[in-house]
A and B are shown apart, each in its own frame.
Chain A
Amino acid sequence: SQQGEEDPQALSIQEGENATMNCSYKTSINNLQWYRQNSGRGLVHLILIRSNEREKHSGRLRVTLDTSKKSSSLLITASRAADTASYFCATDVSYSSASKIIFGSGTRLSIRP
């Protein structure tokens, strides 16, 4: 089952434009993370935002978190061809003595030259 759902499922923009992806989740979280995956390879961690944070920046990335709406957004500014990839939000789900990180279904981003 998916905890997070990304929107849109696919996004195609021109190089240099900004890309915005959204993520909604179902249960309370301690933090939310965004990961990137190039063409069937391993995922790479991009940024983590904790539940008591509202906004975080890292280079060309800007993440927002609205815990009241159970949603997050990832903004990539000044997109480049190399940003073409799938982007996943991930939330931690605690149960018994363990926690697990659950991924959404992803947004496939294509940057047109």
Chain B
Amino acid sequence: ETGVTQSPTHLIKTRGQQVTLRCSSQSGHNTVSWYQQALGQGPQFIFQYYREEENGRGNFPPRFSGLQFPNYSSELNVNALELDDSALYLCASSPAGTDFSPLHFGNGTRLTVT
């Protein structure tokens, strides 16, 4: 089975720009969660998508938005980038919407905002 893949692996953007990160979920998984991980910290929950709808959101401003597509792949969009947005962005998939299955992570996108 194919695991979770994220693209790009690294990205450098300038403050104020917009960025789109992409995630392909593991085969058979219909739920995707996005996390932001600053250096030396634990992953912070951004939001979760289930069957193409946002299914829960963490404490992130509206300039963080997402999409899930019919094939369960997902995008994370961040507008008006700030220096503090520099982090590792992790996507994780799981096989169901609200049960508590383990998450399967991709290797992340390292975003640097200058």
Name which of B11-19, B75-83, B95-103 contacts chain A.
Answer: B95-103
Residue in A33, A101, A103 whose Cβ sees the most chain B Cβ within 10 Å: A101
Across the interface, A2 reaches (CB within 8 A) one of B42, B107, B110, namely B42
Chain B residues with CB under 8 Å of A104's CB are 42
Q: In the complex, are the beta carbons of B100 and A96 less than 8 A apart?
A: no
Across the interface, A95 reaches (CB within 8 A) one of B43, B50, B56, B108, namely B56
Tell whether A44 is near chain B: CB-to-CB under 8 Å: yes
Q: Which of A25-50 contact B (CB under 8 A)?
A: 30-31, 33, 35, 40-45, 48
Q: In the complex, are the beta carbons of B43 and A100 less than 8 A apart?
A: no
Across the interface, B108 reaches (CB within 8 A) one of A41, A88, A90, A100, namely A41
A40 to B88, CA, bound (A): 8
Q: In the complex, are the beta carbons of B98 and A97 less than 8 A apart?
A: yes
A33 to B94, CA, bound (A): 14
Across the interface, A106 reaches (CB within 8 A) one of B42, B88, B105, B108, namely B42
B105 to chain A, nearest CB (A): 4
Chain B residues with CB under 8 Å of A100's CB are 33, 45, 48, 56, 58
Residue in A2, A92, A102 whose Cβ sees the most chain B Cβ within 10 Å: A102
Which residues of B pack against A, CB within 8 Å?
4, 33, 35, 41-45, 48, 50, 55-56, 58-59, 88, 90, 92, 97-98, 100, 102-108, 110
22 interchain pairs (CB within 8 A)? A33-B102, A35-B103, A40-B88, A41-B107, A41-B108, A42-B4, A42-B106, A45-B102, A48-B100, A90-B103, A96-B56, A98-B50, A99-B56, A99-B98, A100-B58, A101-B33, A101-B45, A102-B45, A103-B35, A103-B42, A104-B42, A106-B41
